[in-house]
Structure 1
């Protein structure tokens, strides 16, 4: 019995030592196989078992670290969740609204206010974006700027440059970087300066060029600088010329014309004056009697009064229309461009348009007044022929006696 127990003890001790040697290599090989298959949890377990046997093995430690890093990376990668249809629709609406708003902003910056207004309105039509305060305010600015553009175009076409420039500058108060408006202002001022330069109005031309400088781009500024330099040279030359002319006029002595002196030779050569005989005055026969009849009243007085009344009435009415238009326009210019001023601006703008609609009546009144002035002038300058209605009794020249004569 004792021998049997001893045999079993020796057998177990030998088996334990044999199992310890094989297990380390086996764990290591299993860990490598799992690592190649990217089964990092299996690799981690086998490397840890191998390190329990040989805790200082550098290879197993390195592979264990790689397996842990791979497990952490795998845990951080989550499976994407499916977005509900409602959320997808809301995100699509946001994308469309932002796209329309961005396109509207780009068109607004370029000065295309009608197209920008359409983009902003499309943004408001997107669900859940109908109350966007920024977009609503931009639509108001687009309407104001478009109205100013129309007014400026019509006013400049009529030849009223000052009023047209005022409308264009109103646009820049809304959008200071509007390239279209800045170009129109520059072209108008440059053209005005060229016309003044052609008329030798060099001071006015220089002011027009300098006024255009802040609105011009880089290339146009170079052109304007050249025009200003040329204008200054012409102005200096004209000033020097006038000063030289004044200096010459001051230095010239004043000479009085000499009276001719008659000499004996000039007297001899002087033609003899013809000798005229004195005429014998004829005795005129005076009328024996003249009976004057009353003359008719001046018939031009009534037309003069009528023409003057018509001219004064037309002129007064034209002055009233013009004063009303100017007062409405000044009130319109005095308004700002903020959100709070939009209601007042709309009312003032309509009043200006109504007053501007009476331009035809104003022109007709001016024409009537001018015609009345011309007619009144003609009537004043035209003098009626003097006629005297009278009975005259004169002696007859053919026979003895008297003759009765009536002039009318």
Structure 2
């Protein structure tokens, strides 16, 4: 924990630092990328940087961690770092990169707050940063050891065995080692990072859920193409990596893929499950369902999915087959456009509505989909009395906007 003196300083200055952190983080990234352009080109998500998502997420993470660190009776702040640590491990983040962040983050703090950053304040917040950094480094070391890799050996080259068009904008890839040797063990619900070298020379990395975890010699991922689009009165950039994979990767081609990471995994005890997804958020749920079928599970499983239309629903037939193979599973689906079909007990028109859905008592509930979707569903679940520790979610991208929902 922080020293008593630093705790008091951080507690007193948290409102000021917290209010300015949104201004500090863009300056931090600008300074760091100017000094280390290779980080922006080959490690950080350029799309998130362009939209400001990464800056907002970092600001929220620092403020939230500092708040927990000085809380008198709050949870262990290190408990909130698992999601970040898994993401870092999937990228191959190294211990020697943390001092780079420190240098440019504190230079940005001084640039924004100027003379208000006294030596006492600087020392206290320095302690906050290294408490967070050293906690992350320790967790990441454990993750690398568990996966049997180092930051330099996180990625391996796999071959695309099959490519399947799952919907108009989604393709799935079945991946395997060139020699057919077993792939590293993966827990259902985990993801891998895929690194691609783009035409401009940048090496960009994105995460994709494993849909075929139980098979020791094959992995499956699904990738949705993302065109540029308007979002909240701004133009969201097209998906660099997803669109590259769609247009350029086919059977026999190679992909650079990380070891599996991700803390969103199924509990071993036989509690009921509720799997709630929208759009491409179906992919970790496919991984869960495949695992349950492989284990011949009879646990109660309620699968709820929302999509634009039946045609846009990736893995629609596969999901139905997996649910059918599980004696305790049922499925409900919502579509904004039902076409010529009429709503029935399984098919429902419009956006997902949980108010008329009976949820199993004491179920563990998993969410995956666009952040606004998950925030809305999470709010509904909390209104219905579902305990916070029974709601789990996966976000592929900065977690800003959901963690505080």
Normalised by the length of structure 1, the TM-score is: 0.20
Q: Which has the higher strand share?
A: 2
Q: Which has the higher helix share?
A: 1
Normalised by the length of structure 2, the TM-score is: 0.20
Larger Rg: 1
More RCO (CA 8 Å, sep 6+): 2
